[in-house]
Structure 1
């Protein structure tokens, strides 16, 4: 059997899991979500096509390495490695990503009072979350903010509706971690205990701007099978 034919069959097998995944995404509406939430949909398309090409090369290489002469077996060999890659990507951790709070160079803000230093350790600020409807409106069927204590247990949870009016959420006492989720963004965590090092060395009100930003690394991850990944990431800056 010609090596070119074997490589082509193995390559087609390599693309099969990715093509099935993309067909499912099209049927479920995921494709529309990824393409309509960016000003550059061609980048998302390029990521998808690039992943398919990589899987084609992997499938073809596996079929040639094993010197398979039967088309059916070459197809199965081609399917194997890409299917494992996509399964690993799909099963990768979906834990909330820690957010590093940066000095400002919005979509909702955290307003609080900075405490003095205690033995070199920053005490958690008392904070209030003010929500801008620009983040939630039209996208928040599942948006919420969770407040966790030191033991990792949920102290309170505040669902956010797609309301046109801004809202405010009081952070319960004892909160050490704030979890943000929804609005087509990957879940993220703010460690309240570490805010002090990033806050201005002054007493009084402090505002943290929390935004969602499109990351095309997420498009690439999704193209390789990470189904839990969302188009946007949260970011937090200390407001000027």
Structure 2
């Protein structure tokens, strides 16, 4: 068993393994949903490769830059972590995580982000960070918000020509991930969050005085997408 950086030519096999673990027949493929992990190019991801060349386990590792105030942080995110059922119980995921942590440290990254609280992560020193908020938007509250906003705002579907303006909005946030227009287009086109939930994505911009001042990408039932 080799534990090492995955080769670009092996990414398709890793995507198929991840799909077999996380998706079902007819679902959008993991390769389409997560292009930053599975697209060819310079990869930071790690795999456990069996003697027959098959991917036994995989851990996606994606670099990005986070802005917080005036500071820019180099970080990595971990995703699509999976092990072939035939190779479970051998501690492969834990070993891959160690390799990813070493990789991130050698690259000068400040943080590694993971999703979930599995013992795999807590044993490695990961701790909860941040929080989430839940809000329900129904027809009544939507009408109330629209009335409060007045007629100076116009909501419409996002168009290709909006990418620079939307990218500016995202990068001007006090805290958040930095994007290039091309990366933003790739991620919005992948519709990962909606796809994982079995929903469709609806992307809107809010325009005031001819300028895009708001943006939202939402996962909604397919019937609600025109």
Same fold (TM over 0.5): no
Q: Highest Rg: 1 or 2?
A: 1
Q: TM-score, normalised by structure 2?
A: 0.31
Q: TM-score, normalised by structure 1?
A: 0.29
Select the structure with the greater relative contact order (CA < 8 A; seq sep ≥ 6): 1
